Amino acid sequence: MNKWIVGVALLISQISLAQVRVVTELTDNWKFKKGAQALASQVNFNDKGWQKVQVPHDWAIYGPFDKEIDKQVVAIEQNNEKVASEKTGRTGSLPYIGEAWYRNEFTLPHYKKGQKVLIVFEGAMSEPKVFVNGQKVGDWAYGYSYFYFDITNQIQEGKKNTLAVQLSNQGQSSRWYPGAGLYRKVQVVVKNPESIDQWGTFVTTPYISSALAKVNVKTKASGENVRLVTQVRDAKGTTVAIDSTGKRFGKEFEQNLAVANPQLWSPETPYLYTAVTKLYVGNQLKDEVTTRFGIREISYKSSVGFSLNGKVRKFKGVCLHHDLGPLGAAVNKAALRRQMQILKDMGADAIRSSHNMPSMEQLELADEMGFMFLAESFDEWAKPKVKNGYNRFFSEYAEKDVVNLVQATRNHPSIVMWSSGNEVPDQWGAEGVKRAKWLQDIFHREDPTRPVTVGMDQVKATMASGFGALLDIPGLNYRTHLYEEAYKAFPQGLILGSETASTVSSRGIYKFPVEKGIEKQYPDFQSSSYDLEYCSWSNLPEDDFVLQDDKPWVIGEFVWTGFDYLGEPTPYDDKWPSRSSYFGINDLAGLPKDRFYLYRSRWNTNQETLHILPHWNWAGREGQTTPVFVYTNYDSAELFINGKSQGIQKKHNATPQTRYRLMWMDVKYEPGTVKVVAYGKDGKPAATQEIKTAGKPYKLVLQPDRTQISADGKDLSFVTVSVVDKDGNPCPTATDQLTFSVKGAGSYRAACNGDATSLELFHLPTMKLFSGKLVVLVQSGEKAGDIELEVKGKGLQTGELKLKAVK
């Protein structure tokens, strides 16, 4: 450390520390009532009969499922529908519609008169109106937006303060399950008048070499005669750069700090630095903000593609809706972490938030775990897709929502691109072009360092109007047959697969004959897990693989979707019961479908993949053709049925399917053992895998994702429950009804089996197995100790598991 840095460090250590900002998350002490009167905004309102809840909270996830909820009679233009039909599960068939109130009484013992107080919401579904001590302090419109209000004039020193929030969800306001309630964090920020603005810090890394990185820090702050000191600390907490300045241009300070031998952020090495920014008046500390950031360089160039830290790479991404299956829209970091660990194992390196602002927790995990992020804003602009969608708010709120999105999240190194819209009807006509440019200009004004895209499905229209040409990055949703034409028509010299595949399947369900099919439907309302079924507007995974591999100007893809989500049960959105999607690579419970291994065989280059489908329990199909597929990162393999070779298959370019799958189409079913032997490039056996015909269900097996969880009242262990026969073979067709009980330092939270047609409620301690499996969520309490989970089923050996909650 040089002398100047030592001098500043000594000066800081000698300065008296005043009370600086305190951020309080309002998690407990909430009371909730759906359909409450407007009097709930008043301080002395009697709320004794109201339900006690914790925030984040989603009131609708507790059900019941009802086909009459938000039944929409509509022709879905995005799906090329021409004739309106009744859609019963489009928004999940859960009771999200209506008005509700939340109330919380809180004290701020650290607050002193003269300080500033903000109330910060990271998402409120939807159209929130906020009251503090009986006074309305503001409202917002978009349920996915982050926003805050200054409540300094309403706060009482040394007394209880009452916060009341009114929410209102209209029917026909969404195309998927939107959730309901205060489903993301609510925080109170107390700070001095001389302080750093909310989301007022912007850290970029405009110059990077192996020896040195320039870290630029722009900070907006209020107050007279203020001075700013910023320290950059490495992952160990060691200060590696420091700068002090009293110069301000308007409200903004600007500092440049030199970091020697920088560690670069990437999905493979997600190294994080911290900027600690302190605001002083004289020698008195007035405010302090800590900002995590990464040192990384992104580049998008014609004919070269996307580069991260100087290395060309393609996005191996998935799209994710915001719900967490059985938890609904309520944010939970443990659930998000599990999702992202599953995606990491698959080899994914990117996520697109579809089609709205991501949660802060998801971005924090993306930074830590190494995911590049495409942060999206809107599913609608001025022209509607649904009657009561964002089109009602666009003209008044779009700029405010974009500004808040960018300012709140721009320091996350994971974000490498913004999206201003998804399949907006405004793709048609001159007005849409103007809106696209207007929104893109706002993103550029707030963040000049990242490009902007739009997920375009009306590709011909955007070619004709100039819409696609003005975007930083043209994003194509499907339309694989138009990639070449779009590449020639658009000037950018590259194409992003902003939404790809939309292959539909149900975990562990297989249909015969095995053939490619569009919009195929079956009496059980399931889709085949042979991964050959898709929608009228979509395609199979390998159609995108070919583009990724053969076209250097295709910069990657974001598959629709990484996980199933509530609502949009295509191709059964006009059938009942069907209330969640079939698009996921993983099901609603987070259990991998067969397709997971197809993507893993391509994306996970560090680990072996060798996966056989279908299962081998086909009583009644003896002697009938039952094709066997193998998803593997080996080029060839040999298949054996009960020890008899079915021949060697090798990947080849005759069709997109044979290029990426090994397929034995003429196998005749006979009970017993299916074995596959994969061969290495030297022609020698490299790996084996086998599955067996299972006997009767005998015993329940419990496999937790973690045996030790934090005793914070929020953490979760996801326990996969499966059933095996006497010999330990999985029973892939079991549908037994199970019951769950939890004792000790935790509680039962929810269960999910991944069946899109199930109407069983997630929070009740009973559920049927689907294709032999389900997942139980066990939640910690706030005290350390042992947790015991017991799972029972009629005629089955009970499954027992011990977990531990630790402080």
Cis peptide bond N-terminal to 571, omega within 30: yes
> What token pair was written down for 97?
């519609």
d(CA 504, CA 498): 18
d(CA 520, CA 534): 8
Which residues face 298 on adjacent strands? 308
> What token pair was written down for 533?
């079924």
Sign for the pseudo-dihedral over CA of 304, 308, 311, 316: negative
Residue with tokens 């195929």: 520
Tell me if residue 619 falls in helix, strand or coil: coil
DSSP conformation letters of 12-35: HHHS-B----EEEE--SSEEEEET
Do 566 and 580 meet the contact criterion of CB atoms below 8 Å apart?
Answer: yes
Residue 383: CB atoms within 10 Å: 17
Instruction: Please calculate the CA angle 440-442-444 and round it to the nearest 5 degrees.
Output: 70
Largest pairwise CA distance in the chain: 88
Active site residue 499: yes
- Expressed in angstroms, the distance from the first to the final Cα of the chain is 37
Q: What's CA 257's distance to the chain center, in Å?
A: 33
d(CA 41, CA 678): 67
d(CA 20, CA 229): 15
Q: What's CA 47's distance to the chain center, in Å?
A: 35
Q: Which of 122, 380, 499, 638 is catalytic?
A: 499
Residues 6+ apart with CB under 8 A from 552: 303, 304, 305
SS (H, E, C) 501-567: ECECCCCCCCCCCCCCEECCCCCCCCCCCCCCEECCCCCCHHHHHHHHHHCCCEEEEEEECCECCEC
> What token pair was written down for 740?
């769950």
Q: Count CA within 13 A, CB hemisphere, residue 266.
A: 15
Residue with tokens 């590709």: 459
Do 190 and 115 meet the contact criterion of CB atoms below 8 Å apart?
Answer: yes
Active site residue 568: no
d(CA 457, CA 424): 8
d(CA 205, CA 581): 40
d(CA 142, CA 637): 52
Do 223 and 194 meet the contact criterion of CB atoms below 8 Å apart?
Answer: yes
Sign for the pseudo-dihedral over CA of 320, 326, 328, 333: negative
H helical segments located in 410-497: 430-446, 459-465, 467-470, 483-489
**In 261-405, where do the E strands start and end?**
273-281, 284-293, 298-301, 305-308, 311-312, 315-320, 350-353, 372-376
Q: Which of 122, 376, 380, 423 is catalytic?
A: 423
Residues known to be catalytic: 423, 499
